[in-house]
Amino acid sequence: MAWDNFKRITFRKKKDTPGGLWMKCDGCGAMVYKKRVEEKLHVCPECNFHFAISSKNRIKFLLDTDSLEETHADMAPCDPLKFTGNTPYVERLAKAQKHTGLKDAAIVGRARIKGREIAFGVTDSRFLMGSMGSVVGEKISRIAEYATEERLPLIIVSGSGGGARMDEGMISLMQMAKTSAAIGRYKKSGGLFISILTNPTMGGAMASFAALGDIIVAEPKALIGFAGPRVYQSTVRGGKLPPGFQRSEYMLEHGFVDMIVSRTEMRDVFYNLMDYCDINRKKTPAAAEAAKNATRPGKHCHAHEMQRVPARF
Ligand SMILES: [Zn+2]
């Protein structure tokens, strides 16, 4: 009888551990209750580690319910170089498309946050590490152009650890200039661009649109940079990289990131930022002229002036 009870207890314990109700946190190593993590928008309740999430969940957590009107959804990549590495590019694409249900790594469109209209973009790290090929670059450029035409705030969430997509060679590198130019034109028109960096945002994405936010927001402990820490380590012969190198907190301390915001607070923070900058107002020609001539900081000041205090550099 006693032996039977022992067997039953052992069985239950195994069933409820990994793969079931509990999961291991990559941040603190603790076993955490999966449902609790999901309730906190996939954030560890013990250490605030932000788990990677799909673009679908990002949209669900950040935007008003069903508010996204996706544009350019049918845009799909081609294989201009007929590239074959260890695995041919077309095969890698097909696998990523099947795995994610996406045609490429970016989703863009018009949406709302707490009722406020925005132009929105997100890259999905599950799709070839969110790398920027011709489709991602084109979609980011088009949503920036749309935001310019419609005078909307632009919010782009980057989950692009893969940087530029080298399977597309020079064409992927051109996306850096193209997205930067589109965002440059948007900024000249007086738009507000909030760039959100999630774990990880690296390479060509970081070296172009992701770094161009008027306000750059990072999720806690995200890896942010151009090349990864291992590459840098190999260049500082014998030296050691500083603790926390390339993490959000390090980047905030060194002035590259403006704010670190938890996933659970992003909606409120972005709403307040947009409200403060008031870019979304319907401008009459007279109001536009008044904003141009305004000298005191406040409602009409550009976010760039608000955030980039010279002392921080
Ligand atoms: Zn944790």
Kindly report, residue by residue over 51-62, the tens digit of the pLDDT.
Answer: 999 999 999 999
Task: Answer yes or no: do 26 and 62 share one domain.
Answer: no
Task: Answer yes or no: do 102 and 18 share one domain.
Answer: no
Task: Answer yes or no: do 130 and 78 share one domain.
Answer: yes
> What integer is the mean pLDDT of 200-222?
94
CA of 43 to the centre of ligand 1 (A): 8
CA of 46 to the centre of ligand 1 (A): 5
Is the per-residue pLDDT at 292 higher than 70?
Answer: no
pLDDT tens, residue by residue, 160-176: 878 889 899 999 999 99
Task: Answer yes or no: do 31 and 120 share one domain.
Answer: no
Is the per-residue pLDDT at 300 higher than 80?
Answer: no
Task: Answer yes or no: do 226 and 288 share one domain.
Answer: yes
Task: Answer yes or no: do 264 and 219 share one domain.
Answer: yes
Task: Answer yes or no: do 70 and 104 share one domain.
Answer: yes
Is the per-residue pLDDT at 299 higher than 50?
Answer: no
CA of 49 to the centre of ligand 1 (A): 5
CA of 221 to the centre of ligand 1 (A): 12
Task: Answer yes or no: do 18 and 106 share one domain.
Answer: no
Task: Answer yes or no: do 45 and 2 share one domain.
Answer: yes
Question: Which of 12, 36, 51 delimits the end of a domain?
Answer: 51
Question: Which of 9, 25, 51 delimits the end of a domain?
Answer: 51
Residues 300/278, Cβ–Cβ less than 8 Å:
yes
What pLDDT, on the 0 to 100 scale, is given for residue 281?
54
Residues 260 and 125: their CA atoms lie apart, in Å, by 20
> What integer is the mean pLDDT of 273-292?
63
Task: Answer yes or no: do 136 and 265 share one domain.
Answer: yes
What pLDDT, on the 0 to 100 scale, is given for residue 239?
76
| Domain span holding position 224 | 53-312
Is the per-residue pLDDT at 159 higher than 60?
Answer: yes
Is the per-residue pLDDT at 301 higher than 70?
Answer: no
What pLDDT, on the 0 to 100 scale, is given for residue 302?
37
Which CATH number is 288's domain given? 3.90.226.10
Number of domains into which the chain is organized: 2
What pLDDT, on the 0 to 100 scale, is given for residue 151?
93
CA of 55 to the centre of ligand 1 (A): 22
What pLDDT, on the 0 to 100 scale, is given for residue 306?
34
Of 4-18, 31-45, 214-228, 268-282, which gets the smallest average pLDDT? 4-18
Task: Answer yes or no: do 125 and 8 share one domain.
Answer: no
Q: pTM score, two decimals? A: 0.82
Task: Answer yes or no: do 10 and 58 share one domain.
Answer: no
